[in-house]
Amino acid sequence: MGNEALTQLSATELAARIARGDISSVEALEAHITRIEQVNPALNAVVVKRYDAARSEAQAADERRARGEPLPPLHGVPITVKECLDLAGTPSTFGIQALARKPAAEDGVYVARMRQAGAIVLGKTNVAQALLYIESDNPVYGRTNNPWNLARTSGGSSGGEGAIIAAGGSPLGIGTDIGGSLRVPATFNGIVSLKPTKGRMSDPGRYSIPLGERAIVSQIGALARTTDDVALAIETLNGGRAPAVEPPMPLGDMATVDVARLRVAYYADDGTLAVSPAVRRAVIEAAGMLAGRGAQVLEWRPPDVLHAVDIFYGLLSSDGGATLSGILRGGQKDPRIAQLLTLASAPAPMLASVRGLLRATGQKRTLEVARNFGQRRTADYWRLVEAQMAYQQRFLDALDRDDGGPFDVIIAPACAVPAFPHGASKDLLTAGGYEVLYNLLGYPAGVVPVTRVRADEESSRKRSGDRVERAARAAEQGSAGLPIGVQVVARPWREHVALAAMRAIEEDARKRDDFPASPPL
């Protein structure tokens, strides 16, 4: 096979062909290195390369196969990993200059599991500084561009992964998610991702949200071009279907899920930021695909998402930005981070003035975020945790008791807008509550591509003096052709149910002319 054909294969198919001897690991590796070198100058997605080491590992993989040794599930398959995850001999900077000269002594546990499964790491991919924005840009490595439109972001904070996988430079990658960092790059780049249940694969990183903040915990997850690849990666990251860990964390098999028996809730408006026309259409069409397979599908509205968003921001900003300020002291700050820290650390009287100004100037959406900043006492943090627990129960009650329930799966927007122009994340911090809701709840949530924006549906948003609404409208203008995915959510510890629904949607969406199969790059 030619290099181009090899880089269009899924990780699952590459593993099968390498195991059969149809292709070698060296051939698969070289094809992806060639592709990275073709597209990365335009994308700046792969920021740490380890080609020589990877070539040696691929050669050793082919030798093991030739000797007839047992082969692990990802034997000889090239992958990439998010820059913040420890890979022996390379730095994990989080986009922070002070960490650039500190290579990791050993692989992190999840990188190690991928390598033990036979995967060969080509390199590491770009991130948002401190992993805090849904746009991958930082003072260490610069900006990553979207392969569908270089003038737009690939998302964040796992944006480098999203861009290089979509462009064919890597079939599979791993990243992290505390507020949409896997799911936003997936929808912006037209690929698949999954964030597991809170506590299944907790992110050990220390240079983003304070490690001691345990109410909302970043999770390790996977990105790929197919649901089957994401499922394989999640099983690998989990340590197997039934890993020998305490407490036990068995992972279900999506093949056992009968989609026709699922009860599905869907919504295209959570009461925060209204979605683009293409996003609404994608949600409705994805719900229809499941209905077409026999699932019981009903339109639904999650309870008081704006309140959930308040809790989310309140919890994550409870230290007033003190931890992050200490990490970044003396180094260059991304302008968006600097603005956030100024707001988070401002004295109470100044914050009150800022809120008053935002209210007086009609900046409703910015106020919805800013009202949650300000350093809190320990007792305030405990009350927020209690509010989180109360909301989690309220949400579960709605899933169980609302008309049409109890629901097994939720179909929702992955982001309110398509991939937006570079720099817009300054105003579009999360583009609504669509992603962060499921970090607050701790539910497993994935994204699967469905469609692309049509020329006649770029925007129906009215002109507004609100800067968030203005930024959303600007993101929608000129968005024709960009990919749109939907978010698929399941109950805690039922990742396999979400994956089964995602696979069904993917199979039906791929039959359509507007499926975002491959970017033009």
Return the active site residues.
82, 157, 181
Bridge partners of residue 172, in order along the sequence: 224
Return the ∠ at Cα 33 (arms to 29 and 39), rounded to 5°. Answer: 145
Query: CA nearest 446: which of 410, 408, 404, 481?
Result: 410
Cβ atoms of 151 and 127 closer than 8 Å: no
Return the ∠ at Cα 211 (arms to 207 and 217), rounded to 5°. Answer: 105
Q: How far apart are CA 28 and CA 9, in angstroms?
A: 10
Q: How far apart are CA 186 and CA 193, in angstroms?
A: 6
Bridge partners of residue 121, in order along the sequence: 79
Q: How far apart are CA 311 and CA 306, in angstroms?
A: 9
- The token pair at 21 is 């001897």
Question: CA neighbours within 13 Å on the CB side: how many for 509?
Answer: 34
DSSP character for 433?
Answer: S
Q: How far apart are CA 249 and CA 489, in angstroms?
A: 19
DSSP character for 449?
Answer: E
Q: Tell me the three state secondary structure of residue 485.
A: strand
Cβ atoms of 153 and 146 closer than 8 Å: yes
To which residue do tokens 């975020």 refer?
369
Q: How far apart are CA 239 and CA 218, in angstroms?
A: 18
Query: CA nearest 179: which of 198, 160, 200?
Result: 198
Distance of CA 164 to the CA centre of its chain: 14
- Residues 6 or more apart in contact with residue 46 via CB below 8 angstroms: 36, 40, 80, 122, 123, 124, 125, 126, 160, 164, 169, 170
Phi, psi of 149, rounded to the nearest 5 degrees = -165, 110
Phi, psi of 153, rounded to the nearest 5 degrees = -80, 150
Angle between helices 227-237 and 11-20 (to 10 degrees): 80
Q: Tell me the three state secondary structure of residue 413.
A: strand
Q: Tell me the three state secondary structure of residue 267.
A: coil
Q: How far apart are CA 443 and CA 282, in angstroms?
A: 21
CB atoms within 10 A of CB 63: 11
One-letter amino acid at 46 equals V
Query: CA nearest 380: which of 438, 320, 321, 304?
Result: 320
